[in-house]
Amino acid sequence: MLSTYAYPEFPYVPSEEQRTGRRVRHPVVVVGAGPVGLTAALDCAHHGVPVVVLDDNSTVSVGSRAVCYAKRPLEIWDRLGCAQRLLDKGVIWKNGKVFRHDRLIYQFDLLPEDGHRMPAFINLQQYYLEEYLIDHAHGFDDRVDLRWKHQVADITPAGDHVRLTVETPDGFFDMEADWAIACDGARSDIREALDLPFAGQAFQDRFLITDVVMKADFPAERWFWFDPPFHRGQSVLLHMQADNVWRIDFQLGMEADPEQEKRPERVIPRLKRMLGEDTAFDLEWVSVYQFACRRLEDFRHGRVLFAGDAAHQVSPFGARGANTGIQDVDNLIWKLALVLRGQAPERLLDSYSEERVLAARENLLTSTRSTDFISPKSTVSRAFRDATLDLAEHLPFARPLVNSGRLSRPTPYTGSSLNTADTEPFTGAPPPGTNAADAPVTAEGAPDWLLRHLGDRFVALLFLGEETAPPPDHTGTMAALAAQDVPIHVVTVGRRAGDLVDGAGLAHERYDATAGTTVLVRPDQVIAGRWRGPDPARLATARDRAIARA
Amino acid sequence: MPLTIQPNLPDPDGFYERLIALHRDLDLAGSRRVNARLILLLANHIGDPEVLDEAMRLALDPAAPRTHAR
Ligand SMILES: Cc1cc2nc3c(=O)[nH]c(=O)nc-3n(C[C@H](O)[C@H](O)[C@H](O)COP(=O)(O)OP(=O)(O)OC[C@H]3O[C@@H](n4cnc5c(N)ncnc54)[C@H](O)[C@@H]3O)c2cc1C
């Protein structure tokens, strides 16, 4: 089908429970093996929670879907041990250019500073992402049970569990789960079965999404055109992907006929107008999309937890779809693991909805604004849009108003019930509810990264400044934290000595840290609280608050 | 005081959204009226004739040489 990629075919394996007809209760069932469901399964395995993944299909994502993955999801996949292969295969980029007609009017750099392990973005076809996640999951065969051609037909809440009715090539059977995670995409059957409204806005404009194989000398940057000479009156977006495949999106307007527009006789001349008659290229995939921005009101419904496109759908201009879905499960799985172990109350899972609805709200707002700028819906809206572009080329003030998509960034959980508010002043550092900043460090004499020492568990970063050891009166009690039921592991970070040595001083700078500064980091690498001195009692209280048992 | 041509809006996307929303229920003639009123309101707020003249020149031709802008 594709010239650069062969779709893997995963075998349907009849399950023991269907064959014997003996109903089994599983701790966690994930519905859907897209990027979000697969990441959820990997995170479960990482936390030692056995997980069954059901997918109605038997291969990876078909056709042109996600391309751009942001720094934060890459950090999450790094925590799960599978980022390197994505980095190796993907196209790393951080610069964007915005053109009007044939002139550059504005450019941006998404990560202007050094000292982060992960780049601002990589581009990679969604099928590679899914294939690599599946390969990685095969390394956890004892904990991740991937079942292909298993379509969930119904779900019924039943007190302390849910019942799933599943259809396979061998017919229907029922299974039970303590918790179900619905990662079954934008057309979620689980959402339908529970009759939950998916409210928002649908956009009329149509977009032609092409994947083109060619040798081209465009740089690894995001290029966006308003009204280019080769596609008058509309916009065009260009991205480099792996294997010399290029993603080119053409805005078509509201009147376009999707069936006509998909035909090669229409697509090839469009591409030639852009690339020139002499550029040789092959069409890899063509589709026509309309976009929508909508979400569930609440991401937790009893023992069913919604994540990814099943919970929220956005237009793709900020590459926010998969990126935010990955952050959903990053937020969810450690909480679920604690609840399953009886170490945190179930209401900790309400904070999943609380925090991720906040993120979805921001993503929807931002994506809707971008879509409104790119396809103005009224004469006046278009006049303001064009005026902004007129001005932006010459006058810097108008550039921040030009909106060709605001690229995915993590949403801080400001005001989350899990945060412990600052009681001492900090400036210019990520506050509680924000994801922890990375920095280059040295660990056991070798170059390393701060983030690799955070995550999966509660960590207290204890900064030493120029000191070489923590204050002696605290060493014993701090160590005792690691022995509690939900342990807090202390990691010391000093300019000259410590578990992590911050020779360049970037870690101290990024956390606004001085000797004694202590930062409590959640298992999803989100800051729970911070103080100017190490105080075991305050750390334990903040940890309890962060797991909703305070 | 020269005309500011550096970014000065604390939340550009939010401002833009409200600006477009202002016109949501208006027809074209209504929008023109609202835009004209808005310009007059802001002009009065600015007051400084040099700033207003420079803004008018740049509105007419954004590429015009800037004599009184920063
Ligand atoms: C043109 C385009 C460009 C995009 N670009 C980007 C981008 O650059 N960056 C980005 O982050 N996002 C992008 N996205 C969005 C991204 O593709 C989605 O957000 C992402 O695929 C969502 O992942 P998911 O796992 O939630 O759902 P999906 O990928 O939709 O996976 C759902 C899975 O559930 C399975 N399933 C469905 N129903 C059932 C059932 N009843 N039983 C069992 N299994 C079921 C499906 O077969 C599928 O495997 C783009 C989307 C489009 C269309």
Nearest neighbour of A393 by CB, restricted to B8, B15, B62: B62
pLDDT band at A473 (very low <50, low <70, confident <90, very high): low
> Which DSSP symbol is given to A501?
E
Tokens describing residue A57? 């299909």
In 3-state terms, what secondary structure has residue A506? helix
Q: Quote the pLDDT of residue A476.
A: 75
- Cα of A31 vs centre of ligand 1, distance in Å, is 12
Q: Quote the pLDDT of residue A64.
A: 84
CA distances from A203 to A187, A206, A255, A330 (A): 17, 8, 12, 30
pLDDT band at A12 (very low <50, low <70, confident <90, very high): very high
pLDDT tens track for A73-124: 999 999 999 999 999 999 999 999 999 999 999 899 999 999 999 999 999 9
> Nearest Cα to A398, choosing from B58, B41, B20?
B58
Q: Quote the pLDDT of residue A450.
A: 98
Q: Quote the pLDDT of residue A550.
A: 79
Q: Does B21 touch chain A (CB under 8 A)?
A: no
Cβ atoms of A237 and A370 closer than 8 Å: no
Residue found under tokens 């041990």: A81
Rounded to 5, what percent of chain A is helix, strand, coil?
30, 30, 40
Distance between CA atoms of residues A173 and A373, nearest Å: 49
Q: Quote the pLDDT of residue A118.
A: 97
Count other C-beta atoms under 10 Å from residue A284's C-beta.
Answer: 24
pLDDT tens track for A487-507: 999 999 999 999 999 999 999
Q: Report whether pLDDT(A474) > 80.
A: no
b/e burial code for range A50-81 (CB count within 10 A of at least 16 → b): ebbbbbbeebbbeebbbbbbbbbbbbbbbbbe
**A334: Cβ contacts below 8 Å, ≥ 6 apart:** A43, A47, A456, A522, A523, A524
Q: Quote the pLDDT of residue A1.
A: 59
Domain borders along chain B are 12-60
B chain contacts of residue A369, beta-carbon cutoff 8 Å: 13, 16-17
Q: Mean pLDDT in each 10-residue stretch from start to end of chain B (70 residues)? A: 94 97 95 97 97 96 89
Q: How close is the nearest chain B Cα to the Cα of A389, in Å?
A: 10
Please work out whether the CB of residue A309 comes within 6 Å of at least one atom of ligand 1.
Answer: yes
Distance between CA atoms of residues A64 and A408, nearest Å: 19
DSSP conformation letters of B2-69 = PBP-S---SSHHHHHHHHHHHTTT--HHHHHHHHHHHHHHHHHHH--HHHHHHHHHHHH-TTSPPSSB
- Cβ–Cβ of A381/B23 closer than 8 Å? yes
pLDDT band at A372 (very low <50, low <70, confident <90, very high): very high
pLDDT tens track for A204-223: 999 999 999 999 889 999 99
Tokens describing residue A397? 């003030």
**B62: Cβ contacts below 8 Å, ≥ 6 apart:** A390, A391, A393, A394, A395
For residues A506-519, average pLDDT = 97
CA distances from A193 to A163, A294, A325, A490 (A): 12, 18, 21, 45
Nearest neighbour of B20 by CB, restricted to A366, A372, A400: A372
To test the contact with chain B by mutation, choose from A368, A397, A399, A407 the residue with the greatest count of B C-beta atoms within 10 A, namely: A397
A529 phi and psi angles, rounded to 5 deg: -170, 165
**A228: Cβ contacts below 8 Å, ≥ 6 apart:** A99, A101, A102, A236, A274
pLDDT band at A478 (very low <50, low <70, confident <90, very high): confident
Residue found under tokens 């031709």: B61
Pairing of strands A500-501, A440-443: antiparallel
Q: Does A391 touch chain B (CB under 8 A)?
A: yes
Q: How close is the nearest chain A Cα to the Cα of B5, in Å?
A: 5
Q: What is the pTM of this model?
A: 0.96
Please work out whether the CB of residue A407 comes within 6 Å of at least one atom of ligand 1.
Answer: no
- Cα of A128 vs centre of ligand 1, distance in Å, is 13
pLDDT tens track for A401-430: 999 999 999 999 999 999 999 999 999 899
Q: Quote the pLDDT of residue B68.
A: 81
Q: Does A393 touch chain B (CB under 8 A)?
A: yes
User: What percent of chain A has pLDDT above 90?
Assistant: 94
In 3-state terms, what secondary structure has residue A447? strand
Report the complex ipTM. 0.96
> Nearest Cα to A309, choosing from A405, A198, A202?
A198
Give all domains of chain A, ordered by start, each with its CATH number.
Answer: 440-546 (3.40.30.120)
Nearest neighbour of A395 by CB, restricted to B5, B19, B23: B5
Residue found under tokens 């751009």: A68
- Cα of A187 vs centre of ligand 1, distance in Å, is 10
pLDDT tens track for A129-183: 999 999 999 999 999 999 999 999 999 999 999 999 999 999 999 999 999 999 9
Cβ atoms of A206 and A376 closer than 8 Å: no
Q: Report whether pLDDT(A546) > 90.
A: yes
Name residue A442's beta-bridge partners: A447, A501
**A213: Cβ contacts below 8 Å, ≥ 6 apart:** A3, A4, A243, A244, A245, A246, A281, A282, A283, A284
Average pLDDT, rounded, for chain A: 95
